[in-house]
Amino acid sequence: MPGNIIGIHAKAGDILERGQPVLTLEAMKMEHALKARSRGKLIALRCAVGDFVQEGAVLAEFEAIESQ
């Protein structure tokens, strides 16, 4: 859904655990957290705090790290 980026909680190169927040989007007067779906590396962020983003926009690139 379209909304404003109001917080970024990780940076490119960070290793994130499953469920760790990456960014927060405000849409329809509600805050929505984008969280890591699995353990992995944040490759790149495609947005910044204050950006207005449209539905379907790519906000981050993430690469899963397989458990051993």
Confidence of residue 65 (pLDDT cuts 50, 70, 90): very high
Distance (Å, whole) CA 50 – CA 43:
21
- Domain containing 15 equals 3-64
Question: When comparing pLDDT for 68 and 41, which is higher?
Answer: 41
pLDDT at 68 over 70: no
Residue 38 has what DSSP assignment?
S
Tens of pLDDT, residue by residue over 28-48, are 999 999 999 999 999 999 999
**Domain count across the chain:** 1
Both tokens of residue 61?
């690139």
CATH of the domain at 58: 2.40.50.100
Phi-psi sector, 56: left (phi>0), alpha (psi -120 to 50), beta: left
Confidence of residue 2 (pLDDT cuts 50, 70, 90): very high
